[in-house]
């Protein structure tokens, strides 16, 4: 049994310590908002926060998450940045298929938490790890600016 804190709640999980956090969240805890996209930390669909920093949960073993604070898409609205980001996402109708959006929102929330007024270059850097095959990038950029209350270049 391993003990992890997910969205402020302590959870006991029975999984091998080498199991990626992604599959612990999805299959062991039934929290399917975090998505499997590539399994190789290349697409960002599985992004969660570990102590507030964005990490790819497909490449984070359970052992590295023990005792850490994990935030997922199901809990990010409890953070100030996450709440703003989600509101902007809805105001601008960002998602299309929606599959990558959990990861996009987690990356954007972490960006805003650390840089409340991101520039376009900040957005490029923070979001480059998240692929969207539907091509929602223009709206993601606009939504981050909207959430921050800044104007895009």
Binding positions for other proteins, rule: CB under 8 A: 15-16, 19-20, 23, 26-28, 30, 32-40, 42-43, 45, 72-74, 77, 86, 89-90, 93-102, 105, 123-125, 127-141
Identity of the residue, 113 or 141, whose beta carbon is nearer to other proteins in the bound complex: 141
3 state SS of 20: strand
Crossing angle for the helix pair 137-148 and 120-127, nearest 10 degrees? 120
Q: Angle at the Cα of 46 (from 117 to 82), degrees rounded to 5? A: 35
Identity of the residue, 67 or 135, whose beta carbon is nearer to other proteins in the bound complex: 135
Closest contact distance (angstroms) between CB of 116 and other proteins is: 19
Identity of the residue, 101 or 113, whose beta carbon is nearer to other proteins in the bound complex: 101
CB neighbour list of residue 81: distance below 8 Å, 6 or more residues apart: 109, 110, 112, 113, 116, 147
Closest contact distance (angstroms) between CB of 153 and other proteins is: 10
Closest contact distance (angstroms) between CB of 16 and other proteins is: 7
Is 143 within 8 Å of 85 (Cβ atoms)? yes
Closest contact distance (angstroms) between CB of 70 and other proteins is: 14
3 state SS of 51: coil
């Amino acid at each position: 049994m391993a003990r992890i804190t997910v969205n402020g709640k302590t959870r006991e999980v029975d999984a091998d310590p080498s199991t990626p956090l992604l599959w612990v969240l999805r299959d062991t805890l039934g929290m399917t908002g975090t998505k499997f996209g590539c399994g190789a930390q290349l697409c960002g669909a599985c992004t969660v926060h570990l102590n507030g920093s964005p990490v790819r949960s497909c490449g984070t073993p359970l052992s590295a998450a023990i005792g850490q604070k994990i935030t997922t898409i199901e809990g990010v609205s409890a953070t100030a940045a996450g709440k703003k980001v989600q509101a902007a996402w809805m105001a601008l109708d960002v998602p299309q298929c929606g599959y990558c959006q959990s990861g996009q929102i987690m990356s954007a929330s972490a960006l805003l938490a650390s840089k409340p007024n991101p520039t376009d270059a900040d957005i490029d850097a923070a979001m480059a790890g998240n692929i969207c095959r539907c091509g929602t990038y223009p709206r993601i950029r606009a939504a981050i600016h909207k959430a921050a209350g800044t104007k895009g270049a």
